[in-house]
Amino acid sequence: IIAHKTHLSELDLVLPEGGIQLTMSSLRKFAAQKPLYTQLSDGAVLKSGVVLKESNLLRDNQSGELMMPNKDTGFYQYIDEQGQFVGKSVAPGFVVAVGWKNFTRILTDPGIQGPFFQIFIWTVVFSTCSVVLTLAIGMVVACLVQWEQLKGRGFYRVMLILPYAIPAFISILVFKGLFNQNFGEINLFLEAAFGIKPDWYTNPFLAKAMILIVNTWLGYPYMMILCMGLLKAIPDDLYEASAMDGAGPVQNFFKITVPLLMKPLTPLLIASFAFNFNNFVLIQLLTNGAPDIIGASTPAGTTDLLVSYTYRIAFQGSGGQDYGLASAIATAIFLIVGALALLNLKLSKADQL
């Protein structure tokens, strides 16, 4: 029976008495099955007296409730006595042409507009802070390991590059355990030393701080490697002349090193911004967007980036997969990242002149 289960499940048996149709319901049993929904091609009259002439009405044979196609969402949806959509949607859906409605939903629907702009602002802040922090730490560390008087420079270089050598998803999962609110090593240390247990995953501010800490750890080695290579291109004569004028290491760093490094680094910083703008893996593995945004009509979290927000709308929506809205947001992301790519190309050409 098991070997022929696929073929048996395709059989439809009809009893001679009453024409009852039987289909395979288990390995040992064929049973009669009724359709869950019945199409009402002639419309229906609701209890309130409202007449629906819709030819594609469906009746739920279990509850007796009526469903009507919602041409705004592309799903059948339960209706009330007034013919208004009130219940859940039923999959699978159907194709509808909505034009620009998904873009207008982003701007006009309160349940989408607020979360969208909140997530957009956080995405920009996250990308900017990630670039600034990784650049600052990477540049300072590069200057330190390039210092000729530092003993064991080779060892320090290898140790500081290790975070870049370990796959990002492994590091993220390790940090997820370290930041665990109940038994993570970071909270255990903070509780023992200072008597505090931060709510890393439930407090929106702390969750964002945690994400920036982890992303800085993952990104600073890349900036350090870039700065180490560019530092070798700065002539030693500049530092010697500065020393003769009485300038110290701090003045040399801000007056000579930073200005000479920023110009060649600018296109790379824009590329880093674009990468962090779409850093889906970090958010998905570390917080999954949590904590959630209260009042949002779509799956939305305070730590979501636009790319993870789009993913959740498309594949994790409790009311059905909203591919149309997700596509509209993805189009906005494409335009933003495309503009950054054009700016990067323009600056790269300017550096070559």
pTM (predicted TM-score): 0.79
User: Which token pair is 193?
Assistant: 């030393």
Long-range contacts of 332-335 (CB under 8 A, 24+ apart): 332/106, 332/306, 333/277, 333/278, 333/306, 333/307
CATH classification number, 103-352, choose in 3.30.910.20, 1.10.3720.10, 3.40.50.2300, 3.40.720.10: 1.10.3720.10
Residue recorded with tokens 């029976």? 1
User: Which token pair is 49?
Assistant: 């007296």
Distance, CA of 283 to CA of 216 (rounded, Å): 14
Radius of gyration of the chain (CA): 30
Question: What pLDDT does 250 receive?
Answer: 92
User: Which token pair is 273?
Assistant: 């911004």
Residues in Cβ contact with 183 at an 8 Å cutoff, skipping those fewer than 6 apart: none
User: Which token pair is 248?
Assistant: 């110290």
Question: What pLDDT does 30 receive?
Answer: 80
SS3 135: helix
Band of the pLDDT at 323, cuts 50, 70, 90?
A: confident
Question: What pLDDT does 320 receive?
Answer: 56
Question: What pLDDT does 319 receive?
Answer: 56
Q: Where are the domains of the chain?
A: 1-33, 39-90, 103-352
Residues in Cβ contact with 334 at an 8 Å cutoff, skipping those fewer than 6 apart: none
User: Which token pair is 229?
Assistant: 């290579």
What confidence tens digit (pLDDT) does each residue in 48-102 have? 888 888 778 999 988 889 999 988 778 899 998 888 888 788 877 888 888 898 8
| Residue 26 bridge partners (DSSP) | 29
User: Which token pair is 20?
Assistant: 């009852």
